[in-house]
Amino acid sequence: MEFILPQPLHKLKIIEVYEYYDRPILFACESLSGQKYLVNWIDTDELGDTWFYVPVSKTRFSMIRSGKLSLRECIIQAEDEFVWQVWISNQTDDVKLVIKNVNEIEEYDLPDEDSYLDLNEGTLPEKDNSVLESLRSKRDVLDISLEVEGTHSNEIETETLGSILLLTQELNYHVALKKQQALRGRIPNEIREKNKLKTVGFFAASFGVRLQSESTSGLLDFTDTTDSLESLINLFSSTNNMGTLKEAIKDINIRATKTYYQLLKKLNEKNLEINLEWASPSSKSIKTRLEKNRIVDALRLMSNEQKVETSEIELSGNLVGLDTDKKTFHLISDENEHISGKFNSGLDTSQYHLPIKVLATLQQEVQLNNISDEENYKYVLTGLSIQP
């Protein structure tokens, strides 16, 4: 049966479990306001269970987790000099709360003197619960933890971390671009502003970094970044199954495919495995992990997959070349980009005296080669209108 956390004080959420016997009997929980409690099961009888809820500060919580303060000391040296003694009926909804002064606690209700935790493996702070942080801040949270295969080091090369963060941000931009949007030029400023991520902290989980959406949620508990981050985490999740990954790649555009390949390639080059957790202000969250073998499999699959994407675009520029025999054209766009290709046989070109300012309608085909990192463009001119 799933354990249901008692809620004697206010709405609480378990953030870590340290001891389990049919249910959690020693764990930490946290309120929405950020108050943490160390919860210790004390006794049981035929009517109910007795627990100690010990309020702890963030500093005290870190000391307990790192083994600098024992569970026994946490209780008898409680910061507020009291604990909540909570009795919960196992037959009814009855709950009894008593403020227990630490001097009144009986010896047999205390943990052993050598009861220590030792969870932190480095100098980075512990990871705060991502769902609670998202609810508090009303921003999306993306936690990324990087570890060298088979190790748990709290250190990482600066260049490696910088590259992965940049690629993650770029990927978030690109998955926000719908497939039918043009692939030419810069990412629109609107997409950049809505899907910008902020680095807000680091945590101990090998090497962990927390990103948050710049925007906050509205009435429906969605931020401007929620959709793109959910797509991003689902893309990572799909990578644990090559069939699922193959389908996922079909649903994203070439820019996103190329950036994701580069990100996986960087992880592989640096022998890194990655854990990700996304949480939104709607309380939705997704966790996933990519181990070394899955990253290698994904790179192999994406190297062999040819990505082809077509779209219709409009460009303003000067038409400088038309070969009616070969049915080819040459256009210099307003951004000084030279574009050549074929034109439809049904297109009437007799009225154009070159060079001439036009608005051109083009069928654009893009082929992506992940191995060479090249994008090959082909164009068919389907329509022209003269511009003043």
Question: Has residue 121 been placed in a domain?
Answer: no
Asked whether residue 290 falls in the same domain as residue 171, the answer is yes
For residues 67 and 35, state if they share a domain.
yes
Would you call 171 exposed, middle or buried from its count of C-beta atoms within 10 A (0-12, 13-18, 19+)? buried
Looking at the structure, do residues 263 and 326 belong to the same domain, yes or no? no
Q: Are 293 and 381 part of one and the same domain?
A: no
90 or 5, greater pLDDT: 90
Number of domains within the chain: 3
Tell me, yes or no, whether 220 lies in a domain. Answer: yes
> Which pLDDT tens digit goes with each residue over 304-354?
877 777 778 888 999 999 888 889 999 999 989 899 999 987 787 777 888
Question: Quick check: 182 pLDDT over 50?
Answer: no
125 in any annotated domain: no
Residue 6: inside a domain:
no
Are 221 and 298 contained in the same domain?
yes
Looking at the fold, whether 140 and 289 belong to one and the same domain comes out as: yes
Average pLDDT over residues 158-183: 85
Q: Which band of pLDDT confidence, cut at 50, 70 and 90, is reported for residue 220?
A: confident
Could you please report the per-residue DSSP string of 153-210?
-S---HHHHHHHHHHHHHHHHHHHS-TTS--SSSPPHHHHHHT-EEEEEEEETTEEEE
Whether 135 and 234 map to the same domain: the answer is: yes
Q: Are residues 270 and 333 in the same domain?
A: no
Residue 347 lies in domain:
309-386
pLDDT in the model for residue 123: 54
Same domain, 166 and 218: yes
Please, which pLDDT band fits residue 386 given cuts at 50, 70 and 90?
confident
Mean local confidence (pLDDT), 144-148: 90
Tell whether 284 and 193 lie within a shared domain: yes
The three-state secondary structure class of 227 is: helix
Amino acid symbol at 71: L
Distance of CA 279 to the CA centre of its chain: 8
pLDDT grade for 205, boundaries at 50, 70 and 90:
low
Let me know if residue 7 belongs to a domain: no
Residue type, 73: E
Residue 115 lies in a domain: no
Domain contains 186:
yes
Q: Is 71 inside a domain boundary?
A: yes
